[in-house]
Structure 1
Amino acid sequence: MSEQTESTDIKKKILSTGIRVGTPVKTKFMTPFITKASPEGLYMLDIDITLEKIKIAAKFINRLGTDKLIVCSARQYANTPIEKFCEMLGSKKLLGRFMPGTLTNPSLPYYIEPKLVLISDPQVDVQAITEATNAGIPVIGISNTDNITSKLDVIIPANNRGRKALATVYWLLVRQILIERGELKEDEPMKYEIDDFETKITEEEIE
């Protein structure tokens, strides 16, 4: 299968996941990644740029090593995607509140020295970004239309609020990392599908 048809297939597969649906707000940082506004007034992200940025992020992660990466998010919907990502790639996860000093205070028992940090939302994960920046650690961030991304080294423009969208971004990233490593062919199915990466909500949460 040629790369062209492959990328078309992937695009078809992910368009229904809401990955490119932004918010009613756009920042100057995210303007280059926005194509148009939807009839409902939501800014839409350019899916081609998203896929391109996922390739760049995958190369970057592979260069430094997935075992040197920490993936953090205080956003609940990112929990399952991050758990699956770390399970498949051997990265370290930090879910929930980011403890101050994690990257900057060597005297703390939970202090770590990663080579790279991946965050799910620049707004929610601001503590992780600040500490990584102070420690000179590069940051890859999944960013929506309303995010401020001045401290990020690689921006993955995507909907970082939706369950399905977050699952899709992490799924695409794992897939691309495995392809870059030569462990997965472009047209080969992965062990997990996007659904497996999705945080399931319980009935109590729906009510």
Structure 2
Amino acid sequence: MSDKKEEQSGGEELLVPIEKYMAAGVRLGAKISNNYLIKRGFIFSVRPDGLRIFNLKKIDERIRTAAKMITRYESSKIVIHSAKPYGFKPIEMTCKFIGCKAVAGRFIPGSFTNPSLDNYMDAELLVVTDPKTDIQSLTEAAQAGIPVIGLVDTDNEPSYIDLMIPCNNKGRGSLALIFWLLTRQVLRERGEIPPTGDLPVTPDDFKTKATAQLQ
């Protein structure tokens, strides 16, 4: 596409070739956009059909920043939540590699705020795949003073999100690639793999089966 060179110009090389980002649909937003995202330069352009297009450089930068943030916390104190079935496999794979806790599906009320519950989690960092569907964990994190990293689409409200990763948080391919990159970058930051090292699995191994239905 004509905007490839513009998105790649300046700064460091992207975590993966731009073609991989585009093939996974990472940059495809919704037809609605939040003014905050526009002001922060997260929206690159608008297609003729009305879909907002994210700035890939911003996505790439935020993945790197999120990885650095994650490395500051003990793995067992990190919780990743996805109420969306398409997010189940990505978050489970990420937690398998970095040692955090994955909550796939419903987030039981009180898990962050009621220590008397059997399912209570003493979390210090929360990662959500969608502020809209993961609202229970997001709200409780805010109540408990737990910092939040959130994957934010153009139609999301970024309230309670401390660090946003702007991206398509609805597609199978996009979620798989984002979490694969985040996982790899965390391991690189920790020194568990070389600075240019890869995971022993591919983004496809992070992808939820197509039979899963979005909520």
TM-score normalised by structure 1 residue count: 0.92
The answer for the alignment partner of 2:19 in structure 1 is 12
Q: 1:48-87 maps to which residues of 2 (within 5 A)?
A: 48-87=57-96
Could you tell me how far 1:185 is from its partner in structure 2? 2.5
Match of 2:193 among 171, 184, 199: 184
The answer for the alignment partner of 1:175 in structure 2 is 184
Q: Deviations over 1:123-158 (max 9, x none)?
A: 001111110000000000000001000210000001
The answer for the alignment partner of 2:3 in structure 1 is none
Match of 2:209 among 197, 200, 203: 200
The answer for the alignment partner of 2:155 in structure 1 is 146
The change in CA–CA distance for 1:63 and 1:13 in structure 2 (over 3 A counts) is same
Distance of 1:41 and 1:27 partners within structure 2: 14
Identity of matched residues, %:
41
Please give the root-mean-square deviation of Cα atoms over the aligned residues, in Å.
1.6
Q: Is the CA contact (8 Å cut-off) linking 2:188 and 2:197 kept in structure 1?
A: no
Q: Is the CA contact (8 Å cut-off) linking 2:58 and 2:166 kept in structure 1?
A: yes
Which piece of structure 1 moves more, 38-47 or 16-25?
A: 38-47
Distance of 1:10 and 1:182 partners within structure 2: 23
Q: Deviations over 1:76-119 (max 9, x none)?
A: 10000011001111110111111110100111111111110000
Q: Is the CA contact (8 Å cut-off) linking 2:21 and 2:27 kept in structure 1?
A: no
Match of 2:165 among 152, 156, 165: 156
Amino acid at match of 1:158: C
> Helix, strand or coil: the match of 1:55?
helix
Q: Do residues 26 (structure 1) and 39 (structure 2) align? A: no
The change in CA–CA distance for 1:106 and 1:8 in structure 2 (over 3 A counts) is closer
Q: Is the CA contact (8 Å cut-off) linking 2:26 and 2:167 kept in structure 1?
A: yes
Could you tell me how far 1:160 is from its partner in structure 2? 0.3
Q: Deviations over 1:31-55 (max 9, x none)?
A: 2210111122100011110111111
Q: Do residues 119 (structure 1) and 139 (structure 2) align? A: no
Could you tell me how far 1:183 is from its partner in structure 2? 1.9
The change in CA–CA distance for 1:102 and 1:45 in structure 2 (over 3 A counts) is same
Amino acid at match of 2:37: M
Distance of 2:108 and 2:15 partners within structure 1: 41
Match of 1:91 among 100, 103, 109: 100
TM-score normalised by structure 2 residue count: 0.88
Distance of 2:75 and 2:15 partners within structure 1: 28
The answer for the alignment partner of 2:6 in structure 1 is none
Q: Deviations over 1:24-75 (max 9, x none)?
A: 0001232221011112210001111011111111111101122210000100
Gapped regions of structure 1 (runs ≥ 5)? none
The change in CA–CA distance for 1:11 and 1:79 in structure 2 (over 3 A counts) is same
Gapped regions of structure 2 (runs ≥ 5)? 1-10
Structure (1/2) with the larger helix percentage: 1
